[in-house]
A = this chain, B = another copy of it.
């Protein structure tokens, strides 16, 4: 008889199983992720991932949109927050830490000059991003510090933003 104790409702066995499989077959670690975006009209579009319902995107009225959904830079901050949550939940579970509550508040600073064509050689993107994480648990300060370091060191979206990634945009 096998009993499995689950905390945080995280299927840590699945994560460990994948890690073990990758140790045996490193090629399994090479993954490709995708999304397909279709323009509606104005600044509205929808993004389709696998078989999930399409998710809407728009811009605020001040930027020429109709303000019906979060805009792309807000979506990017959301992606970072969701990624950090996975990291904290996974690594807390692996360390036996039961999480009571976990929230991430994200902010990013962006100068609109380049987006609006007023500074053609400038940076249209975020100049800096901040993520403030609130985590309630019975973990010690030392455990939390170790947890935090692991999350920061292993976050796919965090690393993508913190590094220069080759982005090939082609009009086909």
Contact = CB atoms under 8 A, between A and B. Distances in A.
Question: In the complex, which range does the number of interface residues on chain A fall in?
Answer: 35 or more
A3 to B, nearest CB: 19
Interface in A17-46: 18-19, 22-23, 26, 28-39, 41-43, 45
A108 B107 CA distance: 24
A64 B12 contact: yes
A114 B160 CA distance: 12
Contacts of A62: 14, 18
Residue picked from A14, A32, A82, A133, most chain B C-beta under 10 Å: A82
Contacts of A11: 42, 61, 64-65
B36 A105 contact: yes
Contacts of A1: none
Contacts of A145: 171
Contact of A101 (B34, B39, B114): B39
Interface of A: 8-12, 14-15, 18-19, 22-23, 26, 28-39, 41-43, 45, 47, 49-50, 52, 55, 57, 59, 61-65, 69-86, 88-90, 99, 101-118, 120, 123-135, 144-145, 148, 150-172
